[in-house]
């Protein structure tokens, strides 16, 4: 799969350069790049019908550019790439840490999980009350 993505990148860069050339060679409001080299160079060098041919070529290469962008993006997303910060590797997944209350008792991660406690989660554990004193006599 990586081999296919690399080939598509080479084709993509080639399409980018061709598209830049085609856009720059077209005659625009001020004559385009062709006017910088002696006037109406686009018409004299490439013929009178060159303007419509360049517009068609622009549309074709723009469609190729967009299609290759989407295709490379989809293929690269399917690969398991890490980030630049991790050096191409996925960061290790850590288990969630269970918080500890000030009294030293663990606080349940699930708010509904009280495990029979009458206190809300996060409240410090209190020792059980001492038994009542025996009756006198």
Contacts made by residues 12-20, CB under 8 angstroms, sequence distance 24+: 12/65, 12/68, 12/69, 12/72, 15/61, 15/64, 15/65, 15/68, 16/65, 18/61, 19/58, 19/61, 19/62, 19/65
Longest distance between any two alpha carbons in the chain, whole Å: 126
Query: What average pLDDT does the segment 107-112 reach?
Result: 62
**Three-state secondary structure call for residue 8:** helix
pLDDT tens sequence across 33-70: 655 666 554 455 555 566 788 889 999 999 999 999 99
| pLDDT for residue 55 | 87
Q: Is the pLDDT assigned to residue 32 strictly greater than 60?
A: no
pLDDT at site 71: 93
Q: Give the model's confidence band at 21: pLDDT under 50 very low, under 70 low, under 90 confident, else very high.
A: very high
Q: Where are the domains of the chain?
A: 1-8+48-78
Q: What average pLDDT does the segment 107-132 reach? A: 63
pTM for this one? 0.47
pLDDT of 72 > 80? The answer is yes
């Amino acid at each position: 799969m990586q081999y296919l993505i690399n080939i598509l990148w080479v084709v993509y860069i080639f399409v980018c350069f061709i598209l830049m050339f085609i856009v720059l060679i077209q005659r625009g409001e001020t004559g385009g790049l062709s006017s910088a080299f002696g006037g109406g160079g686009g018409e004299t060098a490439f013929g009178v019908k060159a303007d419509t041919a360049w517009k068609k070529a622009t549309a074709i290469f723009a469609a190729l550019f967009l299609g290759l962008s989407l295709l490379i993006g989809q293929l690269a997303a399917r690969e398991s790439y890490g980030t630049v910060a991790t050096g191409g590797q996925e960061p290790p997944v850590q288990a969630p840490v269970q918080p500890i209350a000030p009294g030293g008792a663990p606080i349940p991660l699930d708010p509904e999980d009280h495990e029979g406690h009458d206190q809300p989660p996060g409240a410090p554990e209190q020792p059980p009350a001492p038994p009542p004193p025996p009756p006198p006599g």
